[in-house]
Amino acid sequence: MSSNADAATGKKMTKWLIIILLCLGAAAVMGYIYLQQAFPAVECTAAKHLESPDEAADCYACHLKATPKVAQDWYESKHGVMLVKCFVCHGQPDGKGSVPFAVDPDVNTTCRKCHDPSVNRMVEKYGLQPACNQCHPYHQNSLHHAAYVKPKAKKSID
Amino acid sequence: MGISRREFLKYTAASSAFMAMGVPFAMAAGQNKQVDHWVKGVCRFCGTGCGVMVGVKNKKVVTVKGDPNNHNAGFLCLKGALMVPIIYAKERITQPLIRKNGKLTPASWDEAMELVVAKFKDAIAKYGVKSVGYYGSGQALTEETYLASKIFKAGLKCNNVEGNPRLCMASAVGGYVTTFGKDEPCGSYDDIDAATCLFIIGSNTSECHPILFKRIAARKQADPNVKIIVVDPRRTNTARIADMHVPFKPGTDLAILNGMAHVIVQEELDDYRFHSKYVTFMDNNKQKKTFEDYVKFLEDYTPEKVEQLSGVPADTTRKMAKIFAESSATMSLWCMGINQRIRGVWANNLISNLHLLTGHIGKPGATPFSLTGQPNACGGVRDTGGLCHMLPAGRLIKKKAHRNEMEKLWGLPQDSLNPKPGLHTIAMWSALAEGKLKALLVLCTNPAQSLPNLDKYRQGMARKDNFIALIETFSDAETVKYADVVLPPAYWCEREGVFGCSERRYALVGKAIDPPGQCKPTVNILVDFALRMGVDPKLVPYKNSADIWKEWRAVSRPTPYNFWGITRERLRRESGIRWPCPTEDHPGTRIRYVRGEDPNIPKDYKKKYFFYGKPDGRAVIWFRPYKGAAEEPDQTYPFVLTTGRVIDHWHTGTMTMKVPELRRSFPKAYVEVSTEDAKKMGIHNGDNVLLETRRDKMVFQARVSDVCRPGLVFVPWFDAHLLINKLTKDAIDKGSKQPEFKICATKVSKA
């Protein structure tokens, strides 16, 4: 009888242990996500092998070779024509500048500098979205050809 | 494991829901925590004058964003968006400094001011008031320039009041005054949205006025039929959106503009009804002429002859002229490429000629529009009369009636103002080099980097027998090396004041934070200086810039400038107002010289246009002949050297070099060589190239590209370690006294 009770208690304990472990796991994942949000990745891989750290913010020169598609997308985008350069939104490869390095720039600290009225309008319409670029691809908003092609944004309006 | 699959799923779902909640929570919290309050201001950089909201948290500026209610509609360029680190730069000067044994050492305000005043008084006692002077800036507040000009002209009776706008805007002033009788553009930025042809000459709008370029690009995007013509020897980023990019031999702009006029009159594209009613034709000797005389004068400028001079194909000139004249509304935009020329005033006249000839003026989208380089050159210096020949609101020193009017407004005895105009910028720095000028107060500018032919003027600054008091924010500015006393001012958003941008729009820069250390607002420094100099306290009864603004409104009221309706309260409420604005309920003026738009014209005036700056109410089409640059390339110096900006840096880089991103984007100056020339000389990207002019020589790294036309090299002037202005020439326009920075002859060789 006592062994039965022991078995039952043991079973109960295992159950609680799993719950606690799961909670801890969830907390760890949350913590990780929070850290990701609060302290975005500190550097771009270029930081490790920059030929001239003095010119670290001339991202385009290097990315034209390293990631030609992204570089070309930027060049042909509105940001490219207006010369809103990489570092304005993404910071510098070594993260040592005044803008923290981020692959996905933060809406509040970055986009709002210029697009505050639009962000407010979007929040009013669709609620708070994690990132602008889910609907508006930053680099593919060309001035010349198919301007303002934003497939997802168009769909959601309908 | 005594846990069922169902239970496991339940727990997992609960914890992931919890997790998902966390993400938007973190972002929303970020938004709330970011800023305590926003303060409305204007960007510190170029003459576009974008509205900026300064975000303050715990009494510190943490971020900026565009002001949605100002003309920039919330947008900022890369410099504007990244300007915060400048405020907290470690190079900030936070206490007065006095040069002792060649070294700048900290001192008290009292000690520093006493020394400045002693030196000024000593110079005046020994050599008279002509031996002292003030050199200001298009970056100082309107109130600061007005006050400094008043202290020197009314208080000390000294007309040696100048400023760096002489280096950038003087020819535009000369152009507008000779053509229309009054300074400042007749149109506004709104015209960009209505223009169907944008004629951009001598301006790299994209890099020098990025937010205006954005507006132009948006116009082009909204209607691809809008024609954009870019006339520039360099194929800059501005040319990316152009229908026509027209490169030409530098210095031949006058011929091209006359050539366009030739095509317009020959092909009868002119608006005879307009120019027969509202235009006077005048030759170079100010003699009245007829339209027929003008047609005859233009016979010298056939497109074929223009082609020989400038290298612009005859057909291109014809096509440009046709697009210009036949569009429904043409707007011209120009900047330093036109102004920094020995015939800058003439070049300005010739652009306005095209507009007057075709009637492209005074209609939405049709206007000749000059762009300014500094945030308050139009506002602070041109309007308040901060130059050696001017008095506030367009009045002139040499006109007795204007002097008497100012004497009355300033409460001075009649005929007490000095009737002799002072020294213009180049004359002033020459006088310093020759030992004639003994004491100089320099405010908010960096002449040791920005003057042309620098070696000559830096030697002058280095003389031991003169005294330079400098009001400067950063210790690494070149001019600090030559200053005997440095006074620390409150920077940009650390004090309140007004900036006026290219389109006659005035907006308030609000005070967001307290200045660090012992820095004080320049207005207070100047009042202190005046009182110590023994200027009548009744002339400077100001506690802050708001007091001065009140007086400035009254001083402008009897003139067509009329700021009476632009009260401080309105400036706090609204994001910029364009003068003339005679009453508090007036919305400001978009278009000048047009009945119903310009409040200076009576509502029942009998005609639509009235150029009230001229005695007969008619604007002037001037016969300005072609004249080349002061120093054309020859066999020994076969290349043309031109200078300019890059988008990342502004002026002498004392501010933009403090932003890590901007500094590392363009850490140093370079020389831009055309692919063709580079091939001939075996120059590759990154090679060292020696530039040598008749004044000095210097080595730069090469950037080989197809931006420059062959025969031309370009060097940006922001770099304090590679002072390109040591190589530029100080030849000046005889009318505007503006130097020809844009053209000099140079040798180019591989170093």
For the segment B68-117, what is each residue's pLDDT rounded down to a tens digit?
A: 999 999 999 999 999 999 999 999 999 999 999 999 999 999 999 999 99
Query: What's the confidence (pLDDT) of residue B432?
Result: 96
The catalytic residue among B50, B53, B83, B169 is B169
Nearest to residue B84, comparing CAs of B33, B139, B35? B35
Q: Topology of B170-374+616-622 in CATH?
A: Dimethylsulfoxide Reductase; domain 2 (3.40.228)
Q: What is the 3-state secondary structure (H, E, C) of B70-138?
A: CCCCCCCCHHHHCCHHHHCCCCECCCCEEEECCEEEECCHHHHHHHHHHHHHHHHHHHCHHHEEEEECC
What number does CATH give the domain B639-750? 2.40.40.20
Q: Which residue of B has its CA nearest to A9?
A: B2
Q: How far, in Å, CA of B256 to CA of B314, rounded?
A: 10
Which one has a higher pLDDT value, A61 or B472? Answer: B472
Where b means 16+ CB within 10 Å and e means fewer, A79-98 reads: bbbbbbbbbbbbbbbbbbbb
> Could you tell me the two tokens for B725?
């202005």
**Any idea where the domains of chain B sit in the sequence?**
1-34, 36-88, 97-167+376-556, 170-374+616-622, 561-605, 639-750
Q: Which residue of B has its CA nearest to A143?
A: B221
Query: What's the confidence (pLDDT) of residue B686?
Result: 93
Q: How far, in Å, CA of B685 to CA of B663, rounded?
A: 20
Average pLDDT over chain A, rounded to an integer: 77
* Subunit contact B84:A112, Cβ cutoff 8 A: no
Q: How far, in Å, CA of B225 to CA of B223, rounded?
A: 5
Contact list in A for residue B12 (CB cut-off 8 A) is 22
Q: What is the pTM of this model?
A: 0.89
B53 is catalytic: no
Q: Considering CB atoms only, which of B15, B84, B647 is closest to A22?
A: B15
Contact list in B for residue A33 (CB cut-off 8 A) is 19, 22-23, 26
Residue range B187-209, pLDDT digits in tens? 999 999 999 999 999 999 999 99
Query: What's the confidence (pLDDT) of residue B6?
Result: 53
Contact list in A for residue B82 (CB cut-off 8 A) is 88, 98-99
Residue range B5-64, pLDDT digits in tens? 555 444 444 444 444 443 433 343 344 467 999 999 999 999 999 999 999 999 999 999
The catalytic residue among B46, B168, B331, B655 is B168
* Subunit contact B23:A130, Cβ cutoff 8 A: yes
Strands B505-509 and B497-500, sheet pairing: antiparallel
Contact list in B for residue A56 (CB cut-off 8 A) is 664
The catalytic residue among B139, B340, B374, B738 is B374
In a mutational test of the B interface, the residue from A39, A51, A87 whose CB has the highest number of chain B CBs within 10 Å is: A87
Nearest to residue A138, comparing CAs of A96, A98, A101, A104? A104
Nearest to residue B46, comparing CAs of B137, B139, B136? B139
* Subunit contact A92:B31, Cβ cutoff 8 A: no
Contact list in A for residue B7 (CB cut-off 8 A) is 15
Contact list in A for residue B207 (CB cut-off 8 A) is 83
Q: pLDDT band at residue A139, thresholds of 50, 70 and 90?
A: confident
* Subunit contact A55:B15, Cβ cutoff 8 A: no
Residue in the structure block whose two tokens are 């501010």 = B655
Nearest to residue B219, comparing CAs of B195, B238, B240? B195
B374 is catalytic: yes
Query: What's the confidence (pLDDT) of residue A78?
Result: 87
Query: Measured between CA atoms, how close is B4 to chain A, in angstroms?
Result: 10
Nearest to residue B201, comparing CAs of B243, B242, B229? B229
* Subunit contact A22:B11, Cβ cutoff 8 A: yes
Q: How far, in Å, CA of B233 to CA of B239, rounded?
A: 11
Q: How far, in Å, CA of B53 to CA of B63, rounded?
A: 9
From B118-127, B215-224, B666-675, the region with the lowest mean pLDDT: B215-224
Q: Considering CB atoms only, which of A15, A84, A108 is closest to B78?
A: A84
Q: Considering CB atoms only, which of B22, B84, B664 is closest to A56?
A: B664
Contact list in A for residue B77 (CB cut-off 8 A) is 82-84
All residues at 6 or more sequence positions from B464 whose CB lies less than 8 Å from its CB, including other chains: none
Size of interface A-B (CB pairs under 8 A): 143
What number does CATH give the domain B97-167+376-556? 3.40.50.740
DSSP 8-class letter at B479: G
Q: Which residue of B has its CA nearest to A130?
A: B24
Query: What's the confidence (pLDDT) of residue A3?
Result: 57
Contact between B495 and B546 under an 8 Å Cβ cutoff? The reply is: no
B168 is catalytic: yes
Strand, helix or coil at B323?
helix
Query: What's the confidence (pLDDT) of residue B42?
Result: 97
Q: How far, in Å, CA of B661 to CA of B501, rounded?
A: 26
Residue range B697-709, pLDDT digits in tens? 999 999 999 999 9
From A127-141, B139-153, B188-202, the region with the lowest mean pLDDT: A127-141
Whether the upstream peptide bond of residue B710 has omega within 30° of 0, thus cis, is: no
Q: Which residue of B has its CA nearest to A29?
A: B19
> Could you tell me the two tokens for B25?
């929570």
Q: Topology of B36-88 in CATH?
A: N-terminal domain of TfIIb (2.20.25)
Q: Which residue of A has its CA nearest to B55?
A: A113
Q: pLDDT band at residue A30, thresholds of 50, 70 and 90?
A: confident
The catalytic residue among B43, B186, B260, B336 is B336
Contact between B452 and B477 under an 8 Å Cβ cutoff? The reply is: no
Q: What is the ipTM of this complex?
A: 0.88
Query: Measured between CA atoms, how close is B398 to chain A, in angstroms?
Result: 45
Strand, helix or coil at B287?
coil
Q: Name the helix (H) or strand (E) containing B745.
A: strand B744-750
Contact between B255 and B248 under an 8 Å Cβ cutoff? The reply is: no
Query: What's the confidence (pLDDT) of residue A153?
Result: 40
* Subunit contact B206:A83, Cβ cutoff 8 A: yes
- Per DSSP (E only), the strands in B518-614 are 577-578
Residue range B349-358, pLDDT digits in tens? 999 999 999 9
* Subunit contact A99:B82, Cβ cutoff 8 A: yes
* Subunit contact A82:B214, Cβ cutoff 8 A: yes
Mean pLDDT across the stretch B150-171? 96
Residue in the structure block whose two tokens are 């762009």 = B371
Quote the distance between the C-alpha of residue A112 and its chain's center: 15
Q: In Å, what is the CA distance from B673 to each residue of B234, B252, B253, B382, B715?
A: 11, 20, 22, 36, 9
Query: What's the confidence (pLDDT) of residue A127?
Result: 80
Q: In Å, what is the CA distance from B540 to each residue of A77, B54, B577, B702?
A: 53, 31, 27, 53
Q: In Å, what is the CA distance from B326 to each residue of B187, B200, B273, B330?
A: 20, 16, 15, 9
Q: How far, in Å, CA of B412 to CA of B155, rounded?
A: 9
Contact list in A for residue B26 (CB cut-off 8 A) is 33-34, 37-38
